Chains A and B, each alone.
Chain A
Amino acid sequence: MKAPTRNRPVSLADRQTALDRLEAMLLIRRFEEKCAELYSGGKIWGFLHLYIGEEAVAVGAMPAIRPEDAIVSTYREHGHALARGVPAGAIMAEMFGKANGCSRGRGGSMHLFDVSRRFYGGNAIVGGGLPLAVGLALADKLQQRPVVTVCLFGDGAVAEGEFHESLNLAALWQLPVLFLCENNLYAMGTALDRHQSQAKLHLKADGYGMEATAVDGMDVAAVEEEMGRAMDYVRTGKPLLLVAQTYRFRAHSMYDAELYRSKEEVEAWKKRDPILLWQARLRKLDWLRDEDLQALEARVAIQVQEAVEFAAAGAWEPVEQLLRDVTTPVQL
């Protein structure tokens, strides 16, 4: 992929931009920590797949995604939705199962939708979103809309037939899809080298004549830089596979025994915590002092608190409405 390199990552263009990225990552982190607490408290049920550790991917990716671009996501999508600008309150209310949730309480944690932001949902069948992304891009192309569809998925999805079918189709039809793989090294509990014969995932694209690139997903500036180049390329009307190397710090869903990885491994990755890495970088530039961080944390805490209040205040969908939205009402 040939595109001009910028001298300095956009995220480091100026102090305010750098602090914005930090705040965006902090919001995801604190929001999800609150989710975990509320799960234990019985306010959130079902599966809850936390993104903690992976925040730099969503936050680094999002600036290059324009409002008119489409996003297809996975069941680990709280961070994607927040970074896209889906209101935290609507997300939290969705997890509470309330009617003021972003999917009216019909989807929950794994199915956050906000079509007004072209956020076409968390898809909880691994790989299930990739064909949708191909179709969204096909429709945009045929209707001459100069936009991109960004399809997020994990390394587990790479083993699904739909990954291969979709990459082939997108390349064959030259569709503007950015396939953004968040490689957190585990398909649930199965390590990458135990589920992939070729663990360098970006190499898969070559079989489909597709460009690919890889990036350190713990470095928000690197992600933003690579994503900017990748999106420039996809905007020329061609698909691309971008693999972000990341790591989840928490269990696959809320609880698992984590028999599949060692504590030492997790601790080693936590030394590369994307938020701490970014803070250290900004401190070095003298862009972040303790009081700045406190101010950001305070702002984020308010947002999280307001989200919880919004969710708590929301109404339950009346059971009489159980069957709504199975089919589309005829508009007369």
Chain B
Amino acid sequence: MTKSTYREAIRAALHEALANNPRTILLGEDVGRYGGAFACSRGLLEEFGPERIRDTPLSESAFVGAGIGAALNGLRPIVEVMTVNFSLLALDQIVNNAATLRHMSGGQVSVPLVIRMATGAGRRLAAQHSHSWEVWYAHVPGLRVLAPATITDARYMLGAALRELDPVVIFEHAMLYPSEGELDKLPEDFNIDRAAVRRPGRDISLITYGGSLPKALAAAAELASAGIEAEVIDLRSLRPLDMPTVLASVARTHRAVIVDEGWRTCSLAAEISAGIMEGAFYDLDAPVARICSAEVPIPYAGHLEDAALPQPARIVAAVQEVLAHHE
């Protein structure tokens, strides 16, 4: 095992993808000379050249659409949309073309396209730069949606996504880029279909993804010091959802708290909660709880932003409340 940051893991994954397949190109805003807004593509322009590492104008709809067209026509493009906040400018291309072309054509085409984007809040960037819209994409048939939360997933999910025949949207939480950890070798059973148990526990299931995973693990550590063993599930894939892994955990623990940085209303947390109700109703000893972002545009002031987002202390409090339900 070696140490790596999340950012370095993404860069290594991009490098590997470009080195492995001459038909893979990277396009997006500032992916070339600038090295990527989050420095994930630094050095790639020099190594792979401007034909394959293509800086684009600030034309999200055109360059995402161009990625789709290129994917239809023999390339394996990786499109970097700098952040989810700007992805709405390309939303039409993603949901109306990438997700539909196969179906509308009666199966004549596939769109093997990977779209990467940073997501999430926590950097004092105020309302327009702090969105978590994973659920918007997870809503759409025809898309696969991934959320690497660990160094190892940051390193290997891209390669797996590029082996898919259909469009994949990868959300990289902006707060994770500088995080450092152990980088495993590619696990033999690595896949992008299954959720992962990041910490086993018998008392309650904490179900989360992306940038909320470190918060859930911090909460679990604190709970452990109070004698409460929380099981932490990292969803990894947001569409399709690996409900069997979630339900198996709830069947063991009988209690669940979902941690989701999206707003609560119509959230992924709501979807998972409904799935637990449908699939594990009789296993539950308490109502499912959800820790989500407050229903407010994310504020600039640090204390307000912190209060708006899921935090370990809120997760701990929610767990204690759910556990108290039956005592």
- Which residues of A does B touch, CB under 8 Å? 70, 72, 101-107, 111, 113-115, 120-121, 123, 125, 128, 130-140, 142-143, 161-162, 165-166, 168-169, 172-173, 324-328, 330
Contacts and interface: CB of A to CB of B under 8 A. Distances in A.
A131 B68 contact: yes
Contact of B67 (A121, A135, A165): A135
28 contacts: A72-B69, A101-B106, A106-B104, A113-B104, A113-B109, A115-B109, A121-B101, A128-B96, A130-B65, A131-B68, A131-B69, A132-B68, A132-B97, A135-B65, A135-B66, A135-B70, A135-B73, A139-B71, A142-B25, A143-B23, A143-B73, A143-B74, A166-B66, A173-B54, A324-B107, A325-B106, A327-B102, A328-B107
Interface in B125-179: 141-142, 144, 165-166
B106 A135 contact: no
Contact of A120 (B23, B59, B72, B165): B72
A136 B57 contact: no
Contact of B64 (A111, A131, A133): A131
A161 B89 CA distance: 10
B73 A70 contact: yes
Those 4 A-B pairs whose CB atoms lie nearest each other, nearest first: A135-B69, A131-B65, A104-B106, A165-B62
A110 to B, nearest CB: 9
A103 B104 CA distance: 6
A253 to B, nearest CB: 18
Interface residues of B, number: 43
A218 B102 CA distance: 35
Given A135-B72, A326-B142, A327-B166, A103 B66 contact: no
B102 A328 contact: yes
Contacts of A132: 65-66, 68-69, 72, 97
B169 to A, nearest CB: 14
B142 A128 contact: no
B146 to A, nearest CB: 15
A143 B73 CA distance: 10
Nearest to A151: B69
B106 A140 contact: no
Nearest to A168: B57
A101 B68 CA distance: 24
Nearest to A111: B104
A135 B96 contact: no
Nearest to B90: A131
A102 B97 contact: no
Contacts of A136: 69-70, 72-73
Nearest to A141: B51
B57 A169 contact: yes
Contacts of A169: 56-57, 59, 62-63, 66
A159 B65 CA distance: 17
Contacts of A168: 57, 59, 62
